[in-house]
Structure 1
Amino acid sequence: MSLADKALWVIERNSGRELTLGSIAAACNVSRSHLANGFGTASGWPVMAYLRARRLSEAAKRLAAGAPDILLVALEFGYGSHEAFTRAFRDQFGTTPEEVRNGGSTDRLSLVAPLRLTNGRARTPIPTLGELRRLRLVGLSAPCSYESAIGIPAQWQAFMCDHYADIPDKAPGIPIGVCRAPDEDGCFEYMCATEIRSVSSPRKPLAALDIEPGAYAVFDHRDHVSTIFDTYTAIWNEALPAAGLNAANGPVLEFHNDAFDPGTGLGGLTIWIPLQRDGNGSGR
């Protein structure tokens, strides 16, 4: 069973209990970042957005069947008040719980059914272990999600064409991609960056980021760069658990190989996943 499948089981089995990204991750024995990345890359859903959608979908069925007390339905599905439930319900479906109960139907609602995940689109990569030295990076950062990751190539083009040449005191080497740890809504910052030798502050819209030294699991992505999400899916859901490794809640780094060609997307890169040193998956 993959990590994403384990998380699905926890969510479906305990949807009436208080669940957070941290508690679901703990039940799967991984860090919050590991779970958010594993579930998001496998399903396209942020963990907590899927949890909310499933709870509200089941609540809508209950209401359409004539549940007499909306507050009891709200409490059953993890909402502490009628107001909070109504607000979330309207955000999800564009209507109110009362209207669904009075109409006696969910036909006009976009209900979310339980996911059935099939992983294995990419071969499961085997990690090597590496120690990363301290890095000081400067780059162009932008908010991202699993749904909007298609915009990352355009971000790279903007960084390389509009900013890269003007960054002072660059260290030798090919620019580096940085994926910050996702939040509870599955949103993360992606940075197109280069290492610098100095400690000066960059000019906006560029920003600086310090990467602390630490232990990493290193994976090769040898295929076209457009298939990198398939490799990430295999890493988070299969490769790390199979190797007995727990990811920390730190940035993931993408180091392009010397042969990488931005014109074709070929040449490959290595993916560096920060690891827990204590092995408990609780995060740094």
Structure 2
Amino acid sequence: MDYFKRIQGAIQFIEDRLQEELDITVIASAACFSAFHFQRLFQAISGFSVHQYIRRRRLSEAAVLLKETSRSVLDIAVAFQYGSQEAFTRAFESQFGITPAKYQKESVPLRLQCKVNFLDYQQHAKGELNMNRPEIIDLDAIRIIGYEYRTTLQEEQYFEEIPRCYREFGSNGLYLKIPGRAAPEMAYGIACKFQDDGRFSFLVGEEVHEFTDDLEPGFVCYDIPKGKYAAFRVDGSAQDTRKYIYGTWLPNSNYDRREGPDFEVTDVLKSSYPDAISMIIYIPIE
């Protein structure tokens, strides 16, 4: 259950294979995580994605070789899994603001990405652990009908896209198209259908008395499974709370995240978006 040591093991796995093809599923397996959960934890703790880290490390090690060896730019590009010298040059210049050919000839200091140590993050996270302690509760299954959106962890797109999903759901009156609404004042947001590449579905909807097949396009039925959940009351922004859950609380808790969706419940009548939101975020635990 030591999340930080497990992720650090994956860091070493990456470090040993910077000049090899790297698959996110294999990297996550080295840390005994699913690919999606590994990426979510990594990003919440460090502030950057696994793919960003690998790219920065490869470019940093390539920069070292450009200075310390006589190898050509093309040779180094291929060694670090770039398909062409042009692709490598674009990535290098985007990262460092100078082309590899020019850097090889000139004395220019670069900010290189060193091997990250997640055990350092652990010490920092412990100081923030008491910020938002959850309530641990057991829930019965909840029937939801919602509109399905697609988003991704990559580049933290979901932080921008999830609020937009809520806005579209409300402004387009999609909630009025849900049959048999059981609690119209409560809006549900459900993260589910996780994929290895970081993509997932986000459903915005409401609890219903019964499921029906008579739904308009884009709407789906979803059963939130019964079980144990950690419930976090949002104090501030929902994005900051999500980062706290996966970047601080869960890695330092005595719980593992079990299979199932994350979901959040907003009391619409008590909320004024985006300044004052009455929301609770639930994650499945064991």
TM over 0.5: yes
- Paired amino acid for 1:253: F
Matches within 5 A, 1:1-284: 3=3, 7=7, 10-11=10-11, 14-17=14-17, 19-68=22-71, 73=76, 77=80, 79=81, 84=83, 86=85, 89-90=88-89, 92-93=91-92, 100-101=100-101, 104=104, 112=113, 117=121, 118-119=124-125, 123-133=131-141, 135-145=143-153, 146-147=156-157, 149-162=159-172, 163-173=174-184, 174-180=186-192, 183-196=195-208, 197-200=210-213, 202-204=215-217, 206-211=218-223, 213-224=225-236, 226=237, 228-248=238-258, 250-257=260-267, 260-263=270-273, 265-266=275-276, 268-275=278-285
Percent identity at matched positions?
Answer: 22
SS in 2 for 1:84: coil
Is this contact kept in 2: 1:125–1:235, CA < 8 A? no
Paired residue secondary structure (1:203): coil
On the 8 A contact 2:10/2:28 being kept in 1, the answer is no
More helix by share: 2
1:279 corresponds to: none
Query: How far off is 1:47 after superposition?
Result: 1.7
* Distance (Å, rounded) in 2 between the aligned partners of 1:109 and 1:132: 55
Label 1:41 to 1:181 Cα distance change in 2 as closer, same or farther (>3 A): farther
CA distance in 1, matches of 2:136, 2:268: 19
- Tell me the TM-score normalized by structure 2: 0.71
Quick one: distance in 2 between partners of 1:244 and 1:23? 26
Q: Deviations over 1:6-62 (max 9, x none)?
A: 635632564232654334434444443332222222334222332233223322331
TM-score normalised according to structure 1 size: 0.71
SS of the residue 1:255 aligns to:
strand
- Alpha-carbon separation, structure 2, partners of 1:101 and 1:136: 57
Partner Cα distance (1:89, 1:151) in 2: 30
Distance 1:110 1:26 in 2: 30
Deviations 1:100-146 (A, max 9, x none): 25751595988645557554557252451424415342215142442
When residues 12 and 36 of structure 1 are mapped into structure 2, their CA distance, relative to the original with a 3 A threshold, is same
Shift of 1:221: 1.9
